[in-house]
Amino acid sequence: MTKRILIISGGISKERLISLDTGLQVAKELKKNGYKVKITEPNSDLSSNIKGFKPDVVFNALHGQFGEDGYIQTILEGFKIPYTHSGVLASSIAMDKEISKKFFRKFKIKTPNSILYSFDKKKKDLLDLINKKLKFPVVVKPKNEGSSVNVFICTRKNIMNILKKMQFYRQVMIEEFIAGREIQVAIMGNKKLGLIELKPKRKFYDYEAKYDIKAETKHIIPVKLPKNKLKEVLNIALKAHKIIKCRGISRSDFKFYNNKFYLLEINTQPGMTKLSLVPEIAAHQGISFINLIKWILKDAAKKK
C-alpha cells in the first residue's frame, strides 16, 4: 500500500522560505518514488488536513521558532501520529542556546563562553562585563533562532547599535568569538554519518553564506584532519546527540581552533535543500537523497 506522507512546511519563523524549499524538495522525491504526499502549513487547517488525509507519517519540514522548538511537536503528540526528527523535549533544549550550552558544559563538551542579555533589564556595565568574561570581538545572536538568522560579529564600537536593532527579541546571547575552521557533523540515529568543512567568503557562516549561491561558500568533503581529530569530533557530535536525546538526524556545528573543537549548537531539523549539508554528507557516504528521506520516515514510524 502506498505510504501517505503529510509534509508540514512554511510557518511563521524567519526561516519560512527555507522551510518551504525543504518541503517542496522532499515532496518531489517522495512523489517520484510512489508515495502519496500532501503539503500543509502549520495553521488552522492542520487539524483537518491530518484528520482528512490520514497520513502514516508526518514529515516535519519546519525550521526555526514553532517548528523545531517543541511547539509543533507538542501538537503532533496530541494527534498520536508518528512525526520525523526529535521529540518535544530534545527540540526545545536544542533550540534554546542557553539551555543547550548548560548541557554541553555539564557533560564536558567545549562550547564558547557566553552571557545572556535581557532587554527588560538595564545593563549599565555591559561593556565592562563583556571585557571581563568574554573579550571583544563577540558574537551576538538570538537565544532561539536557527540558520544563523540575525547573528552578528560585534566590536566594542558597534555592539550597542546592533543590540538596539535586536530589541524585538526578549533576550539575546552574547558569545565569545572563536576563530578557526567551520566543521559540521551529521548524526543519523546512533550512526556517525560524517562531516563537512565550510569555507565562507563572508566573515563567517551566516544566513547568506548558507543559502545564497552568490555567497560562494566552499564545501570541503572529505575534511582534512588527522584521524584522531576526525574520530574526536564525530564522537563529540554523537555524545551531544545522545545527551539531548535527539531522534533521527541531527547536525552539530563546530569551530576548530588551536587543535580544539568548540560546539556552537546542535540542529535537530537540518535543512533538505539543494545547499543543505546533511544530504551532501549522506551522498558522500553513498546514501541517496531519497534513501535518506526513507530512513528518516522509517525512523519516525518506529516511534508509533
Would residue 15 show up in a list of annotated catalytic residues for this protein? yes
Query: Can you tell me which residue has the cell 546592533?
Result: 162
Instruction: Find the catalytic residue in 86, 251, 252, 299.
Output: 251
Would residue 251 show up in a list of annotated catalytic residues for this protein? yes
Instruction: Find the catalytic residue in 10, 211, 248, 276.
Output: 211
Q: Which three cell numbers stand for residue 229?
A: 581529530
SS (H, E, C) 223-259: CCCCHHHHHHHHHHHHHHHHHCCCCCEEEEEEEEECC
Would residue 291 show up in a list of annotated catalytic residues for this protein? no
Would residue 253 show up in a list of annotated catalytic residues for this protein? yes
Instruction: Find the catalytic residue in 29, 175, 206, 253.
Output: 253
Sign of CA dihedral 235, 280, 25, 274: positive
Largest CA distance in the chain: 65
Instruction: Find the catalytic residue in 64, 267, 276, 299.
Output: 267
Nearest to 278 by CA among 242, 248, 299: 248
Whether the CB-CB separation of 141 and 268 falls below 8 Å is answered with no
User: What Rg, from alpha-carbon coordinates, does the chain have?
Assistant: 19
Whether the CB-CB separation of 52 and 269 falls below 8 Å is answered with no
In this structure, the number of other CB atoms found within 10 A of the CB of residue 204 comes to 17
Would residue 41 show up in a list of annotated catalytic residues for this protein? no
Instruction: Find the catalytic residue in 9, 11, 15, 29.
Output: 15
Would residue 52 show up in a list of annotated catalytic residues for this protein? no
Instruction: Find the catalytic residue in 56, 145, 265, 299.
Output: 265
Catalytically active residues are: 15, 147, 211, 251, 253, 265, 267, 271
